[in-house]
Amino acid sequence: MTADRAVLREALERGEEEGGPIEFKERLSRDVHLADGRMESLAAQLRHRVLSGDGEATYVVGVTDDGRVAGVSPSVFSESMDVLSLLAEEAGAHIEDVETWGVGDDSGGEGLVGVATVREGGILDTDDSHIVVGTAGHVDHGKSTLVGTLVTGQADNGEGETRSYLDVQPHEVERGLSADLSYAVYGFDDDGPVRMDNPHRKTDRARVVEEADRLVSFVDTVGHEPWLRTTIRGLVGQKLDYGLLTIAADDGPTDTTREHLGILLATELPTMVAITKTDLVSEDRVEEVERAVERLLRDVEETPLRIERHGVGTAAEEVGDVVPILRTSAVSGTGLDVLDDLFERLPKTTGDDGAFRMYIDRTYSVTGVGAVASGTVNSGTVEAGDSLLLGPMVDGTFRDVEVRSIEMHYHRVDRAEAGRIVGIALKGVSESDIERGMTLLPADADPTPVREFEADMVVLNHPTRIGTGYEPVVHLETVSEAAIFRPEDGHLLPGDHGTVTVEFKFRPYLVEEGQRFVFREGQSKGVGTVTDVDG
């Protein structure tokens, strides 16, 4: 809920003017405002308001025609936003932003009044060239700062200022460390990069999504060792096209670097390496780190390719078969034009491969909208108004829900395709009932959740041997759950490859053959592929 009421106060003071861009509505309902020809009339009114405001209109909901703040219940406000969205679509416009305030008493009361900004132009229909890049790297190796500089075009001050431009929590900004996944976006049009001018305004992110012909979304993971589970979730649980590993020139590869590289390669993600902070060291030191990176890659049977020698075109064509390496600095701007060129050329690697499916990564509640499930669309497409299944619940059942609306980087979209990072507002469920690791599926799906499955597995590291009863955490899609292992041959040693039965300890999940997963417990880790879910 927005604390600053300046937007509301300004709209009330200006009032409804004949031929003006402001409209007061106490409420909007489907039964009244979408029936008997009223939809066409109200859509025409909305269109007039938008044109009067040079492409932008303001709708104040919860206010009477004479400007008195009445307030409406959250459910009525939610329905009003649904109706307004349909009217805007009919008028060739879309809702760009909604701000809400409580009314009634000093604590905010239970009533709501809200200001919706309606902008000319249809809701964005994204294109197939949108790529998603997952970043990884040791803490303080400049990962978030590089992304922040890239998406804004603003040089860093040498103290990580541009990292605050990502979607991060207040305590992360204060401490200068990321403790959860964060997100950023920029794009390209015929004139080059489309970046954020004011990254602290969510509407600026929406502008990038709306204007760019090609989008690049970043899932920025966590570099600090205590949050390695979150890093694994970011790299395994998102439908990524590429991985970008950062290694600081003043520090070089670390154990965490090797850990993150291992996860990227284990998930078969085409990977690039950015050597950061080159402004802090000499040319000799940069060369030394480049050689260390090449040795590290060859040790894991990967082929390094220096972009400086072989060019961006070669790197874009061969990434996946090779690991491109480039020098960067968020302070001096070194390598940023090369990254721009590379990201503009890189092909999409994931795509629409079946019916809609999305594993939920985050949940939150929006006043006047309700429960929102956020994640990356794994396959298929989803549209506003679709009926879906949500689950499995703890008892293995699925719940019927409906898509209220979809947002991508704060821009409302009418549909989302595979690879899109979106927030889906859901009807028919409260936020407290949604958990990370649950799945959204079409209403006519017939999902069978499982408590155990069979997998083909490789042990990458373990101090002794893995026997029956071993209990690591399994990371599969957005699922992070303790599981019990039962190796077919009784045990597995480091480097061994074998068949294992995996049983979730606490609840079932939707698991499908062919899905890859990572397991970890202390210094022990490995990767696997689901081979049988029928038991």
Residue 120 pLDDT greater than 60, yes or no? yes
Is residue 406 within 8 Å of 366, Cβ to Cβ? Answer: no
Let me know if domain 357-442 sits in CATH 3.30.40.10.
no
Question: 430 CB contacts (<8 Å, ≥6 apart)?
Answer: 365, 370, 371
What does the pLDDT average to over 36-58? 87
Pick among 3.40.50.2020, 2.40.30.10, 3.40.462.10, 3.30.360.10: CATH of 452-532: 2.40.30.10
Question: 438 CB contacts (<8 Å, ≥6 apart)?
Answer: 359, 360, 373, 390, 391, 392
Q: What is the pLDDT of residue 451?
A: 94
As a whole number of angstroms, the distance between CA 408 and CA 422 comes to 5
Domain made up of 131-345: CATH architecture: 3-Layer(aba) Sandwich (3.40)
Residues of the chain with CATH 2.40.30.10: 357-442, 452-532
Is residue 217 within 8 Å of 240, Cβ to Cβ? Answer: no
pLDDT per residue over 323-355, tens digit each? 999 999 999 999 999 999 999 999 887 655 689
Q: What is the pLDDT of residue 379?
A: 87
Residues of the chain with CATH 3.40.50.300: 131-345
pLDDT per residue over 351-396, tens digit each? 556 899 999 988 888 766 778 898 888 889 999 889 999 999 999 9
What does the pLDDT average to over 148-169? 76
What does the pLDDT average to over 395-405? 93
Of 461, 487, 489, 484, the C-alpha closest to 472 is 484
Residue 65 pLDDT greater than 90, yes or no? no
